[in-house]
Amino acid sequence: MNTIRCIVASIIFFIALPFDTAPLADLLEVTKNQWFLMFAALSLGVALGDTLYIIALKEIGVSRTLTLTGTFPLTTLIWQTLLLNAPLNPTLITGSLLVVLGIIVLSQSVEDIEEPTNLYRNILLAVCASICWGFSATLLKPATVSMTSIQANAIRMPVIAFLLFFLRVLPSGNENLRGIKLKNILIVSATGILGMGLGGFLFVYAITKIDPAKVVTITSSSPLFGMLFAAIFLKERITKRIGLGIVLCLAGVYAVL
């Protein structure tokens, strides 16, 4: 899934490069240190973190996975403090905690699977995904100093697709791809355009402008939009628990802003 999403997003960013605000020649100003941070961020964040997230979703269900990976704002805050020497802002801490609590409340309203095997191992995978995402988001700040968001993503997405294909898809013998239908490819491709494409562009752009922890806290409120869209388009009922989760997430975002 991630390989298909990243390939589609790569095509989108390559098409956008000629319309970027900065010429490609500006990439010559990027230092070796910044290149290293960029590749470290994408390898740990998307190639490893997203893969662990998808494994956890399949093994322990949506509810548990969203609860554990919902700590993403807090892991980013910790990494940002350790690596970027950023001061601990009380309002940012409060906002992060509120969003994490809101995600936990929302995730408990999602239908889950039966008790899985190897529960604790897969719980550890979900926590590791959160740690990887936080580390990746923090590294992106110094890595993208000399490049635009479009340039950064035009580099990130092809490399991620390459890593995933040769490290995950090929070793598996392509068994999961043999029965895939065109409809599935189109749906996953659409998520690549919206999530990895438009979402990736906005995410990196925001990190170049403000603190990674603040960006992550705001973007981590995405489950509340999922619940709202489900209520609007799928006519799903908003329970008291969902309402409480939405309020907590919005309070967290407001505190950060």
Minimal CA–CA distance to 148: which of 206, 214, 197? 206
- Tokens linked to 170: 């090929």
What pLDDT does 79 receive? 92
What pLDDT does 145 receive? 87
- Tokens linked to 94: 């409060």
Residue 37: which H helix or E strand, with range? Answer: helix 32-42
What pLDDT does 42 receive? 81
Residue spans of the domains in the chain: they are 2-256
Q: What is the pTM of this model?
A: 0.76
Q: Is 83 left (phi over 0), alpha (psi -120 to 50) or beta?
A: alpha
Backbone angles phi, psi at 88, to 5 degrees: -80, 105
What pLDDT does 142 receive? 92
Is residue 139 within 8 Å of 37, Cβ to Cβ?
Answer: yes
Is residue 47 within 8 Å of 113, Cβ to Cβ?
Answer: no
H helices within 70-89, ranges in order? Answer: 72-83
Convert the pLDDT of each residue in 204-247 to its tens digit: 889 988 889 889 888 887 767 777 777 788 777 777 877 888 78
Low-confidence ranges of the chain (pLDDT < 70): 108-117, 172-179, 223
How many Å apart are CA 225 and CA 222, to the nearest integer?
5
